[in-house]
Chain A
Amino acid sequence: MPEVFIDGKRYEFEGKPMLLQFILDQGLEVPFFCYHPAMSIPANCRQCMVKVGTPVKDRETGEFEHDENGDRKIRWFPNPQTSCSTPLQDGMVVHTQETSEEVARAQKDNLEFILVNHPLDCPICDQAGECPLQIQTYKYGPEGSRFEVKKVHKPKRVELGPRVTMDAERCINCTRCVRFTEEISETNQLTIVQRGDDNYPQTAAGEEFDDPYSMNTVDICPVGALTSTDFRFKARVWEMNQTPSIDITNGKGCNVDLWTRDNEVLRITPRENDEVNDYWMPDAGREAYKLFNENRADRPSIKLDGDNQSNTSWNNAIETFAEVLDAHEADDILTVGSPHASVEENFAFNKFFNLLGSSNAKFTPDVIPGAGDDFLITDDQAPNTNGCRAINLDEADSNSLQSAVSGAKVVIILSDDLVGREVLSAADLNDSYTISFATNENDTTNVSDLVIPITCIAEHAASYVNVDGRIQRSYPAKETKYTNRRLNLEMSEGRLDRYGTNFDNWVSEENKVDCLPVWQFLNKLAERINLDFSYNHSRDVFADISEQFDMLSDISYERMDEENGVQLPIKQEEVKQA
């Protein structure tokens, strides 16, 4: 197998990898800015320079030539090479900054050039803390600059588009954003304008950067030049806590990270998963953080007189629920599951009412034909349509659901705004007693007689099956009134979470929502009506699911974690609009 010597250590390689990517794959480090594994290699930042040589071979015999010590003779390239654009060759010898003074010096000097016109406004820059330029200047950069002349000033606040704001001074012209619009989103909206030390990325005159994937350029920007208009100046990176999760705004299930501070989700960024979304996610998915913070169903609410809802206690909610169940035959109760809720929620919900004698819950897919593209935006607006199918819920279109509702005396809806998305009209629910399990207040909860607030994806661990049949799961990222980050080993702690006390001005109880996971509420309800139903954790629910359904039999949370989600043997069905 071909071999390469990096910093005196021998590695074997296959195929034709580029040197930088190979070095990174070995867990070693060479600083770089413009290189991105998903895009073409321009080698324009010049930061990843290394010393490279190839062994000298005798032309006639093809044997390696050796020096007097018996070592292979190496013919060094005359200059340092950018490792990102150097293909590996058999026998190649590489010295990075770790073993070569010359390379360390070259990288340091290059950084000095990159910083000539960089404003160094790190104290007010959103990128500080997660900035490759900042990190690499600390590690490999010069201690100061020899350039004492005034820096070139460029536009400081340019609204490139509705979601991206640019600070042209900070730009180092790596062209990652330009290449993103050329190669990944293919809208070609950005280019580099001007030249020399005046240049920066810009759209064509009179156009705006309204690419549906525009905010990915904010993520890949190696400096603070492109910032999210929405997240700008909201929080420092090191104050936040990062929890892996899944995008719930469409059917693709992009892998994301939720960034929380004091139990408020402040931003959502994509998490790499080659099988699903690579490094990217649509802008729409990033807006979902508002769903987790704002307009939440908080405390149970009940309709007492006329149409006025008022908050009530959990005890009262359970009591009312139990009374409604007592007063009606199982046949009169219609349960409606939800493609917007997780597999566990749907299963627990369905099982509970199965035990009471109801038939399987119905559900209506949330599909807008033509809304999707060939990339990460799907026609399917819900994250778990295939999950509902996998546990054999009863798929119903709008009409059949309407007729089922009209025949029922009690309608129990799991986390789905059926009125808001016009599957049902408010009038359809007039004649029945409507109970909604809901994460957010919406048109459906407004017409419901009893609203049970439940946890959203940011508050529980649960799994979702995407349009391609891949099952992936979330972790709890924000506390509810009834969970505690320090006791729940599933939750991670950010700096402020760990060191904060109730006496600190950054700690507030207000961001904790008064809600319960569906299964926990159903536990309480089961206890009240003496039903044999109890799940302590979504893990228990999932264990039951994998026991019951062959397709999910060898799947567990551990496997989903290790493999970054598991592909189920599901053929993608043509999803019809209900």
Chain B
Amino acid sequence: MAELSFTEEELKEIEQLKAKFPTAKAATLQVLWVAQRKYGHVEPEVQNLVAETLDVPKSHVHGVASFYTQYYKEEKGKFVLDVCTCLSCQLCGGYDILHHLEEKLGIEAGETTDDGMFSIQSVECLGACGYAPMLQVTNGVYVNNLTKEKVDTLIDNLKNGKMPEFESMAMPELEKRNQAASE
């Protein structure tokens, strides 16, 4: 890999991020995002670049990057499908969805398709237990209340370059409560 570096503009952005925190170390997460937006991943070389830019220990950046599944420690496909397999989703069939996806795309969780379109990850709770099972597309939109059919449509849409739209989910209990309060 060629010598990595941030551009002037990116460095300026990083300076601004650093200014928000009392220490440079605290800006690690934010700067890792800058790096991941630029390179699409935070491979070891990129982690080291972040460490050097912030002047914090390389081991620290490595530890932080490895903690979060949201940082890609290797090159991923264009769409990363984070399928939640934590408790609520698991009980509602999260693994069925994961295995269906694996079968459909012909890859295992943690792998990327040969055409570089899709990666699948099995991840922990994304905080959407109310609409389990669910998945997240490339650290962005949530796709909720999954069924196998819904997954198939999602894949077709993504292949056509059509990202799913943000879905505002109702919370029945909360609505009931709000209603009661207004009455």
A188 touches B67 (CB 8 A): no
Residues 170-202 of A contacting B (Cβ, < 8 Å):
181, 188-196, 202
Query: Which residues of A are found within 8 Å of B67, using beta-carbon distances?
Result: 193-195
Write out the residue numbers on chain B whose beta carbons fall within 8 Å of the beta carbon of A196. 124
**Residues 194-250 of A contacting B (Cβ, < 8 Å):** 194-196, 202-207
Total number of residue pairs linking A and B with CB closer than 8 Å: 45
Determine if B63 is an interface residue (Cβ-Cβ < 8 Å). Answer: yes
Q: How far is the CA of A193 from the CA of B71 in the complex (A)?
A: 13
**In chain B, what residue has the closest Cβ to A181?**
B59
- Determine which of A181, A195, A205 lies in contact with B62 in the assembled complex, contact meaning CB atoms within 8 Å: A205
Inter-subunit contact B44/A191 (CB<8 Å): no
Please state if A204 and B58 are interface contacts (CB–CB under 8 Å).
yes
Q: How far is the CA of A188 from the CA of B62 in the complex (A)?
A: 12
The bracket for how many chain B residues form the interface is: 10 to 19
Across the interface, B60 reaches (CB within 8 A) one of A191, A194, A195, A205, namely: A191
State A204–B60 Cα separation when bound (angstroms): 8
Which of A195, A204, A206 has the most chain B CB within a 10 Å cutoff?
A204
A191 CA to B66 CA, complexed, in Å = 10
For B57, the closest partner residue in chain A by CB is A188
CA distance A204 to B73 in the complex (A): 13
The smallest C-beta distance from A199 to any residue of chain B, in angstroms, reads 8
CB <8 Å contact, A192 and B63: yes
User: Which of B44, B47, B59 meets A189, CB within 8 Å?
Assistant: B59
The residues of B that contact A194 with a CB separation of less than 8 Å are: 66-67
Partner of A191 from B48, B62, B124 at Cβ < 8 Å: B62
Complex interface bits, B127-168 against A, C-beta within 8 A gives 1, otherwise 0: 000000000000000000000000000000000000000000
- Contact present for B62 and A193 (CB under 8 Å): yes
What's the Cα separation between A188 and B55 when bound, in Å?
12
Q: Does A204 contact B66, Cβ atoms closer than 8 Å?
A: no
B57, B60, B67: residue with the most chain A Cβ atoms closer than 10 Å:
B57
Instruction: Indicate if B51 sits at the interface (CB-CB under 8 A).
Output: yes
CA distance A206 to B59 in the complex (A): 10
Please judge, given known A-B contacts A194-B66, A194-B67, A195-B67, whether A205 and B44 are in contact too, CB under 8 Å: yes
Cα separation A193 to B60 with both chains bound (whole Å): 9
Question: Is B61 at the interface (CB under 8 A from chain A)?
Answer: yes
14 CB < 8 A contacts A-B: A188-B58, A189-B57, A189-B59, A190-B59, A193-B67, A194-B66, A203-B59, A203-B62, A204-B44, A204-B51, A204-B59, A204-B61, A205-B44, A205-B47
Measuring CB to CB, which residues of chain A are less than 8 angstroms from any residue of chain B? 181, 188-196, 202-207
